[in-house]
Chains A and B, each alone.
Chain A
Amino acid sequence: MKSFTTTALATLIAVGAVSAAQAEIRIGVSVAATGPAAFLGDPEAKTIEMLVEELNANGGINGEQVELIVYDDGADPNKARTFATRLVEDDEVVAIIGGSTTGTTMSIMDVAQEEGIPFISLAGAIAIIDPVREYVFKTPHTDRMACEKIFTDMQARGISKVGMISGTDGFGASMQAQCKDVAGNFGVEIVADETYGPQDADMTPQLTRIKNTDGVQALLNPGFGQGPAIVTRNVHQLGIEQPLYQSHGVASDGFIKLAGAEAAEGVRLPGTALLIAELLQEGDAQREVVQGYKAAYEAKYGESVSTFGGYAHDAFALMVDAIARAGSDDPAEIRNALEATAGLVGTTGTYTFSAQDHLGLDLSAFRMLEITNGGWSAVE
């Protein structure tokens, strides 16, 4: 037993030493590859690993190879902070990508900002980039933008009274607050506001209350995970005729499977171009990037791409582009180059950063999608 442990430890150290010896440009990643947020972190880690392989095979950045260091924080903010410290202090990376959830991002963010290491977050909350912190950027749209996109679509359909049912998980609760905040700007009134727990198996009572509320013209369901699928099924079972809007949190094929094609028919949600890769028109700016990523990922891993992997794809592309333009591996110079990013086309949208805007996306990055015949179609 003892000799086994010693051998194992020695091997570990040896592996570490060998990979360290080849290091040129080191990029650190801390995502939730396992645990409750694995559906975010797993495709994120896989995506970045694939992209690094590709990049190194093609000669790296300015002729230098990239070494990737990936840690699994299991969506635990405490672990994320430890790994961020480790990446900066011990692994001496020049940039960090990660933070699958808002909680882990907030932890990593402090370390990155304090140590002056550029960090691109993969989490949604608006608090990450507002107020702007010098070294902190992010790729996913904010939930506020999702609300705005949904309300824009409602406005176009002449909907002004909405019944909302939200999950009490971080995502759902944050989006619920943001939607209530911006609804007024689009002449939309929230006439019913119900919630459900992330583990609940039946939302019929809440939906019945919404159904019985006078004048509800549409339903909106901020949330992710299984909840929205159950809401969709319950809406169908209760025979509620009003259109149902879901959030970008469930923009994946898995959602249609979980809710069932019949119940999901006609559901609208804001999503990225990635979901409708095949449907993108010739001449669409994102077509090449989106289809390229989708094909490569699905060929390598044999599973369908997700929006979340797309966030990681964009973060990595942004970082590589910035390092190439900075022409150095000095974190401060990479940060400056990152902030000067203009018109970089990703899977989520086209990024243009500025000193005031560390997200760099606008509403056009979202596409309003509708589920028809068990698949996605774009709403024009």
Chain B
Amino acid sequence: MNMQSKWTQIAILVALIVILPVFFPSGYYYRVGALIFVNALSVVGLVILIGFAGQISLGHAGFAGIGAFSCALLPVHFGLHPAIAVLVGALLSALIAGMIGRPILRLQGYYLAVATLGFGVLMSMVLTNERELTGGPDGMRVADLGLREVLRDMGLKLSGGEFWYAMCGLVLVIGVWVALNLYNSPTGRAMRALHGSEVAARTVGIDVASKKLQAFVISAIYASVAGSLLALQNGFITPDVAGFMHSIEMVTMTVLGGVGSILGAILGAAILTLLPQVLTVFAEYEQLVLGAVMILVMIFLPRGLLPSIAAKLRGRGE
């Protein structure tokens, strides 16, 4: 697979984020943009897990839930600043991913999928049922980040939408930069090697278990930060964020765009975030269209949108 040079990809991404607002007719588009960036961030994490290391997770919304509720709970109960809460949430997600990852990642294929799914469902149940703490299905409010006010005092006046567009865009660029660095690092190469063949990877001296665990932990951190950003942006959070459907959505975005391609994953996130907005007129058929898109992509572009199209353009086909 051809990963164009790191800086080209980052430049394309930054250019898009900066230039697109010129064409925004109203503030609502900033909101959609910010949502795309948040989704893209968790999807980039999944690219590391699925695309690099070749492991599957159907429970990553669980980590998004940890990140989101860290932002909601820590400021209330421990008086932490929301920005610190994002970091604590990410750390917590990493710890939990590290703990459950070791036994879970011994499994493969369907078994791994089901085990991660179990984790996701568990998180969602805890968040839903621990009513005293999390507010249950009615959710709870999330403290304001406060950064917008700081910027305003410095003379930079941004609307809520503009601020979150910039903030999420910035975090996404950092996330992509980290992921691209990882891709070309020894660790990244080891992950990709075990993706190709675990036996071969082990033979050349790669610690397969620890590389898998690293990929799992890193992707959990991505999901957690994305969850935090979502919570802070919405100012309100319910356990839906940790729900099973959210996990599926993340994997769908990853697969749609192309599991091995970071820009592709962002494209996948963009399409699946935009589609429900475009299809509001046909709201009842939304799921149907989503399903049809997925099936068509899997049949005709099995490597995902971006890699397949890129290959076709180069005239090499599948």
A residues contacting B by CB (< 8 A) are 9, 12, 15, 33-34, 71-72, 76-79, 81-83, 85-86, 88-90, 102-103, 106-107, 110, 114, 125, 127, 168-170, 173-174
Task: Please measure, in the bound complex, the distance between the C-alpha atom of A321 and the C-alpha atom of B75, giving whole angstroms.
Answer: 42
A contact residues around B235 at 8 Å (CB): 110
Are the C-beta atoms of B236 and A173 separated by less than 8 Å?
A: no
Asked whether B242 is an interface residue with its Cβ less than 8 Å from the other chain, the reply is no
Are the C-beta atoms of B234 and A34 separated by less than 8 Å?
A: no
Are the C-beta atoms of A85 and B27 separated by less than 8 Å?
A: yes
Shortest Cβ distance from residue A109 to the other chain B in the assembled complex, whole angstroms: 8
Residue-wise interface mask of B (17-31) relative to A, using a CB-CB cutoff of 8 A (1 in contact, 0 not)? 000000001111101
12 CB contacts below 8 A, A to B, read A15-B281, A34-B284, A82-B31, A85-B28, A85-B31, A86-B28, A88-B28, A90-B26, A90-B27, A103-B236, A168-B129, A173-B136
Shortest Cβ distance from residue B222 to the other chain A in the assembled complex, whole angstroms: 18
Task: Please measure, in the bound complex, the distance between the C-alpha atom of A116 and the C-alpha atom of B26, giving whole angstroms.
Answer: 17
Are the C-beta atoms of A82 and B277 separated by less than 8 Å?
A: yes
Option from B28, B238, B280 in Cβ contact (under 8 Å) with A103: B238
Residue of B nearest to A71 (CB): B280
Task: Please measure, in the bound complex, the distance between the C-alpha atom of A76 and the C-alpha atom of B29, giving whole angstroms.
Answer: 19
Are the C-beta atoms of B280 and A170 separated by less than 8 Å?
A: no
Known A71-B283, A76-B240, A170-B136; further 13 A-B contacts with Cβ < 8 A: A9-B278, A33-B283, A71-B280, A72-B280, A77-B234, A89-B27, A90-B25, A102-B139, A106-B139, A125-B138, A168-B128, A168-B129, A170-B138
Option from A82, A103, A107 in Cβ contact (under 8 Å) with B137: A103
Are the C-beta atoms of B276 and A79 separated by less than 8 Å?
A: yes
Task: Please measure, in the bound complex, the distance between the C-alpha atom of A15 and the C-alpha atom of B283, giving whole angstroms.
Answer: 15
Interface residues of B, dominant DSSP: helix
Number of residue pairs A-B, CB distance < 8 angstroms = 86
Which residues 267-298 in B have Cβ within 8 Å of A in the complex?
Answer: 276-278, 280-281, 283-284
Shortest Cβ distance from residue B312 to the other chain A in the assembled complex, whole angstroms: 13
Counting from the closest, the 6 A-B pairs by CB-CB distance are A170-B137, A89-B28, A72-B283, A89-B27, A90-B28, A103-B238
B residues contacting A by CB (< 8 A) are 25-29, 31-32, 35, 128-129, 131, 136-139, 141, 160-161, 230, 234-238, 240-241, 276-278, 280-281, 283-284
Task: Please measure, in the bound complex, the distance between the C-alpha atom of A81 and the C-alpha atom of B233, giving whole angstroms.
Answer: 10
B contact residues around A15 at 8 Å (CB): 281
Task: Please measure, in the bound complex, the distance between the C-alpha atom of A82 and the C-alpha atom of B39, giving whole angstroms.
Answer: 14
Shortest Cβ distance from residue B78 to the other chain A in the assembled complex, whole angstroms: 23
Shortest Cβ distance from residue B115 to the other chain A in the assembled complex, whole angstroms: 22
Task: Please measure, in the bound complex, the distance between the C-alpha atom of A9 and the C-alpha atom of B131, giving whole angstroms.
Answer: 44
Task: Please measure, in the bound complex, the distance between the C-alpha atom of A153 and the C-alpha atom of B238, giving whole angstroms.
Answer: 35
Task: Please measure, in the bound complex, the distance between the C-alpha atom of A279 and the C-alpha atom of B284, giving whole angstroms.
Answer: 36
Task: Please measure, in the bound complex, the distance between the C-alpha atom of A378 and the C-alpha atom of B167, giving whole angstroms.
Answer: 57
Task: Please measure, in the bound complex, the distance between the C-alpha atom of A348 and the C-alpha atom of B29, giving whole angstroms.
Answer: 37
A contact residues around B160 at 8 Å (CB): 114
Task: Please measure, in the bound complex, the distance between the C-alpha atom of A57 and the C-alpha atom of B110, giving whole angstroms.
Answer: 58
Shortest Cβ distance from residue B236 to the other chain A in the assembled complex, whole angstroms: 5
Are the C-beta atoms of B230 and A82 separated by less than 8 Å?
A: no
Residue of A nearest to B239 (CB): A103
Task: Please measure, in the bound complex, the distance between the C-alpha atom of A88 and the C-alpha atom of B25, giving whole angstroms.
Answer: 13
Option from B138, B161, B241, B277 in Cβ contact (under 8 Å) with A174: B138
Q: With A82-B32, A86-B28 known to touch, is A169 a contact of B137 (CB < 8 Å)?
A: yes
A contact residues around B137 at 8 Å (CB): 103, 169-170, 173
Option from B35, B161, B283, B284 in Cβ contact (under 8 Å) with A89: B161
Are the C-beta atoms of A85 and B161 separated by less than 8 Å?
A: yes
Are the C-beta atoms of A103 and B139 separated by less than 8 Å?
A: yes
Task: Please measure, in the bound complex, the distance between the C-alpha atom of A368 and the C-alpha atom of B66, giving whole angstroms.
Answer: 43
Q: With A34-B283, A78-B230, A82-B277 known to touch, is A106 a contact of B141 (CB < 8 Å)?
A: yes
Are the C-beta atoms of A78 and B283 separated by less than 8 Å?
A: no
B contact residues around A114 at 8 Å (CB): 160
Task: Please measure, in the bound complex, the distance between the C-alpha atom of A168 and the C-alpha atom of B126, giving whole angstroms.
Answer: 12
Residue of A nearest to B233 (CB): A81
Residue of B nearest to A86 (CB): B28
Are the C-beta atoms of A103 and B161 separated by less than 8 Å?
A: no
B contact residues around A33 at 8 Å (CB): 283-284
B contact residues around A89 at 8 Å (CB): 26-28, 31, 161
Are the C-beta atoms of B281 and A106 separated by less than 8 Å?
A: no
Option from A81, A88, A110, A173 in Cβ contact (under 8 Å) with B131: A173
A contact residues around B284 at 8 Å (CB): 33-34, 72
Shortest Cβ distance from residue A80 to the other chain B in the assembled complex, whole angstroms: 9
Residue of B nearest to A1 (CB): B296
B contact residues around A125 at 8 Å (CB): 138
Are the C-beta atoms of B277 and A86 separated by less than 8 Å?
A: yes
